[in-house]
Structure 1
């Protein structure tokens, strides 16, 4: 018997995030014979079979009591129609903007639905996910979903109405960090560094600072103040950022992304 019992988990959608979740499952307590990947694109099926040699990859959903929905939001209702006949009992959906009620209404019977919002660092096992549980979920359903998401990073539980804010913060957040990286690299070049040198310094700057923040018991504010000497170079740079309303710009970006997430969810 496999480590999780005899139940089969169907991962519907073998794209970047779906395959990242499969990698996390295989690195954890799931064995290859407990997972089925469902993918409709023939080219992608071939790629998945090469990467996951011992995992079954099919184009049609077999009978599964547990399912991860990793399809495009526009495909969710159609997929749920097929799930209604598959014997599914619990669903973890990572389809952006698709509400729990939408999935529940698309399936005739009562099914435990958990909705989650991961982000792209999950592709390397460093994701930040938030999840919300539907009314039909038990503690066991929540623990099941959390275990899957922990395979690709960290996970927090929130109310579903806060998932739009999560989308605006951590869902879109990697793009904010990448834009910061672009801007820092360009700033280094403006000060006379080559693009190669500036690029290398900025990449390690972000990696090192992130690790320091993750491993420190101090707050971001405390860490910032420790590196900011009065009247020093860092203080001059921080003063420029404050003067240009850096915090307000970041808050505006998160607010705009949150508002757009709400619009898309209607």
Structure 2
């Protein structure tokens, strides 16, 4: 029996737990922990998994998943340091926490994988990037990849790229929701009922994303297919260009990456 311990029963912890169960993982092979006893009890009752303390869970597991907030990571690592098995893989989902930080607080040679997930994992459409630490084996990296693939897609990258991943896919859903909010509001300004405007925008977004994924065409090609010369789309895109929206998005994503680097370096 291969036991997975999810240390941290928050939103992402439950998301991963639910994905594992939907992918066919036996509930008896999963252990959860958390600071809120009521929350942990709810997960045990809802999903049929086991609950233990952090140290006991780490000792029992071959895969230890760290799902706590970045500011709580050091305390958690101190708590489980002497209980992580020599053959275990430790998977960290905490933003801005480097593999070197985790490795330095665990027994020498511990296999560590850093993950940058995103919130669409809640609906099994997540995009996660995983990066190996200095002691991570290929088998352990593959194990982490399989773990995250229960909630969406996974890419392997060098850790140096994870700040960019944080800025693109980690924070990315918020950018999309921001644009969707603006489009819905525009529909209301133009006289549509809010519910109708919302339905139009959400389905348009879903359809456009599906086209990008299934046609594999470059977004420029797809945009040009909608942009008839002298038409309504061109008029709208000209306004976006005049307001430097494209440049603003690039600058915003650069700022997100810079902030991720600050968090990782401890200078935040």
Shorter-chain TM range is over 0.9
Question: Which residue number in structure 1 is paired with residue 130 of structure 2?
Answer: 131
Report the Cα offset of residue 86 of structure 1: 1.8
Question: Which residue number in structure 2 is paired with residue 15 of structure 1?
Answer: 10
d(CA) in 1 for partners of 2:210 and 2:216?
Answer: 12
Contact conserved, 1:38 with 1:61, CA < 8 A, in 2? no
Query: Going by fraction, where is helix more abundant, 1 or 2?
Result: 2
Q: CA RMSD in A?
A: 1.3
Aligned 1:101-250 pairs, distance under 5 A? 101-250=100-249
The secondary structure found in structure 2 opposite 1:80 is helix
Question: Which residue number in structure 2 is paired with residue 27 of structure 1?
Answer: 22
d(CA) in 2 for partners of 1:92 and 1:115?
Answer: 6
Residue 50 of structure 2 corresponds to residue 56 of structure 1: yes
Could you list the per-position Cα deviations for residues 20-67 of structure 1 after superposition, in whole angstroms to 9, with x for gaps in the alignment?
A: 111111122421111111112112112212321x21023343222220
d(CA) in 2 for partners of 1:168 and 1:213?
Answer: 20
Contact conserved, 1:129 with 1:154, CA < 8 A, in 2? yes
Structure 1, unaligned runs of 5 or more: 1-5
Report the Cα offset of residue 248 of structure 1: 0.4
Contact conserved, 2:129 with 2:165, CA < 8 A, in 1? yes
Question: Which residue number in structure 2 is paired with residue 3 of structure 1?
Answer: none
Residue 80 of structure 2 corresponds to residue 83 of structure 1: yes
The secondary structure found in structure 2 opposite 1:210 is helix
Question: Which residue number in structure 1 is paired with residue 34 of structure 2?
Answer: 39
The secondary structure found in structure 1 opposite 2:82 is coil
User: TM (normalized to structure 2)?
Assistant: 0.93
Contact conserved, 1:90 with 1:141, CA < 8 A, in 2? yes
Structure 2, unaligned runs of 5 or more: none
d(CA) in 2 for partners of 1:99 and 1:164?
Answer: 10
User: TM (normalized to structure 1)?
Assistant: 0.94
Could you list the per-position Cα deviations for residues 158-196 of structure 1 after superposition, in whole angstroms to 9, with x for gaps in the alignment?
A: 111211111111111111111101100111112121222
Moved over 3 A (4+): none
d(CA) in 2 for partners of 1:24 and 1:263?
Answer: 31
Report the Cα offset of residue 238 of structure 1: 1.3
d(CA) in 2 for partners of 1:112 and 1:27?
Answer: 27
The secondary structure found in structure 2 opposite 1:85 is helix
Contact conserved, 1:11 with 1:70, CA < 8 A, in 2? yes
The secondary structure found in structure 1 opposite 2:83 is coil
The secondary structure found in structure 1 opposite 2:188 is helix
Contact conserved, 1:9 with 1:66, CA < 8 A, in 2? yes
